[in-house]
Amino acid sequence: MGDEARTEICITGFGGQGVVLAAHIIGHACALIADKEATMMQSFGPEARGSACTATLVVSAAEVLYPYADHPNILVAMSSDGYDKHAPDLAADGIVVYEEDLVTPQIGPAQQGYGIGSTRIAEELGRRIVQNIVMVGFFTAVTALVSEEGMREAVAASVPAGTEEVNLEAFDRGFEYGRELTASHRDVAAPAG
């Protein structure tokens, strides 16, 4: 996945999906819990809700001198428009983490793709608004960038007071789905006998 000292992450979707909060949580976990350096940038379309929204993170073991994610190692796509816009910049050996009911990615030969119905899972929990936290849990499991415990701590510290329980439940659902998916990928990749 490129230079292990530096990881570039692009999270994209549409306004109202919680793209910026997801990026904030990941950055919080990396900087304050995993003791890495992290920078975050964000951009919005001309309207807030429903238009394009992107947040980028640069996470590094060393000081981040260049805060732009030009060729992300990880692309988290929660909308097809966001995926279409940012997929061409994804590193040749990058990872695509995507909302499988909204995005149909084209995975390159050296890339990995992991999909989850995060909106569906959030709706099962009775709170569609937590789909971004389902995605953060899934991201945690499939990328292993930060520990499960560290990311749970960042979720609890970042969501509005009084919503910690439902958000941690959303995180756990996404994490468990990702853990099962990566275990099945390993089983398929393992040679027989």
pLDDT per residue over 1-58, tens digit each?
Answer: 444 589 999 999 988 899 999 999 999 999 988 889 898 988 766 545 567 799 999 9
Residue 64: how many other CB atoms lie within 10 Å:
15
Name the band, by pLDDT with cuts 50, 70 and 90, for residue 192.
Answer: very low
Checking if the pLDDT of 109 tops 60, the result is yes
What is the arrangement of strands in the sheet containing 95-99, beginning at the earlier edge strand? 37-44, 52-60, 6-14, 74-77, 95-99, 112-116
Q: What is the pTM of this model?
A: 0.90
Look at residue 33 in the predicted model and tell me its pLDDT. 85
Look at residue 1 in the predicted model and tell me its pLDDT. 40
Look at residue 46 in the predicted model and tell me its pLDDT. 55
Q: Which fold has domain 6-189?
A: Pyruvate-ferredoxin Oxidoreductase; domain 3 (3.40.920)
Q: Give per-residue burial for 40-49: e unless 16+ CB within 10 Å, then b.
A: beeebeeeee
CA atoms within 13 A on the CB side of 72: 23
> Domain spans of the chain?
6-189
